[in-house]
Amino acid sequence: MTHALFEPITLRGLEVRNRIWVSPMCQYSVERQDGVPTPWHLVHLGSFARGGAGAVLAEATAVVPEGRITPHDLGIWNDEQRDAFRPIVDFIHSQGAAAGIQLAHAGRKASTHRTWAEQHGSVPADEGGWTTVAPSAIAFDGYAEPAALDTDGIHEVVRAFAAAARRAVDAGFDLLEVHAAHGYLLHQFLSPLSNTRTDAYGGSLENRARALVEVVDAVRAEVGADVPIVVRFSATDWVDGGWTLEDTEQVTRWVAEHGADMVDVSTGGNVPQATIPVGPGYQVPFAAAIRAATGVPTAAVGMIDEPHQAEQVLVTGQADVVMIGRALLRDPNFALRAAAALRVELPYAPRQYHRAPIV
């Protein structure tokens, strides 16, 4: 018996063994504050590959130092970071999974404390923080006011994404995700709530999408025709006057025309006062709507916690891939457990664990 979850999927030159992909999940675990991955990242990401996931995506990884959400974030703006990723990628590949990385710039939501820290909000400069940047000098509530990027600064960000993409491919990553969601820099450009510019990067939807389209162009030019590019969107700000599903549909068409192969559909994150109706699969309808409106492959994410639920998302045509987050933190063997629940025999269950079959 076959099931949609365990059908391979091909994007450009990459075939991924199944449709259960690991959503990028920030770990805030770089203790030297130098952006270099650690043994924690090897074990964290490697466990998902060993557990049968199709693709394992590393968390939001900053393309420049000031693009980190916290001082403890991963980076890929230098060669030391690139080289430290290689053994992690090699292990993921050794388990038969594809390796992806989310390239990111946090913009006005950078330079903050870790989520579990006693302090909240922006990290002061004398404690290792820095001045953040954004499309406009509008602070995220409770955070320090950012500096508005000038045109040269925007071009530097675009070049940084391209350079990071090159390092990622040189480290062995198979696919790249451009982070334009959750209120981070590229989402800040997209939303009229955070972008009040009056130049070529503000105002109309086309102008507000310009920075993202330029990033996709630059990344595609840097990595060539074979490497898949995914763009993560927040499909709505969940606030009147903000970024909308219809906006996302249109910009999805544009990024696809410029070389993106799939969109990873989340929601929210740009304004803290949004009321979000959280529940099982609550973001899946957005992925379904974008897929139906544009024909672009989508990944669905958001409290997809059970194998039959994940299978239903795919067989009903709501998405092409499911991104699993919290369920994999609870059980890195989610893919193997899903196979058992759906009665699929997998050839890649770890032989070392044969005395403890998942049934």
Fold that domain 4-353 belongs to in CATH: TIM Barrel (3.20.20)
Which residue in 143, 184, 348, 353 is the catalytic one?
A: 184
The pLDDT tens digits for 138-188 are 999 999 999 999 999 999 999 999 999 999 999 999 999 999 999 999 999
Across residues 195-209, what is the average pLDDT? 98
Confidence band of 96 (pLDDT split at 50, 70, 90)? very high
194 and 134 Cβ atoms separated by less than 8 Å? yes
User: d(Cα 327, Cα 163) in Å, to the nearest integer?
Assistant: 33
pTM: 0.97
61 and 101 Cβ atoms separated by less than 8 Å? yes
Question: pLDDT value at position 250?
Answer: 98
Across residues 219-240, what is the average pLDDT? 98
Cβ atoms within 10 A of the Cβ of 148, count? Answer: 16
Question: pLDDT value at position 266?
Answer: 98
Confidence band of 207 (pLDDT split at 50, 70, 90)? very high
Beta bridge partners of 16: 9
Domain spans of the chain, in order of start: 4-353
Average pLDDT across the chain, whole number: 97
The number of helices, as runs of H, and strands, as runs of E, in the chain is 11, 12
100 and 174 Cβ atoms separated by less than 8 Å? yes
2 pLDDT above the threshold of 80: no
For 15, what's the count of Cα atoms within 13 Å in the CB-facing half-sphere?
5
Question: pLDDT value at position 1?
Answer: 52
User: d(Cα 328, Cα 322) in Å, to the nearest integer?
Assistant: 12
The pLDDT tens digits for 285-308 are 999 999 999 999 999 999 999 999
184 is an active site residue:
yes
User: d(Cα 354, Cα 291) in Å, to the nearest integer?
Assistant: 39
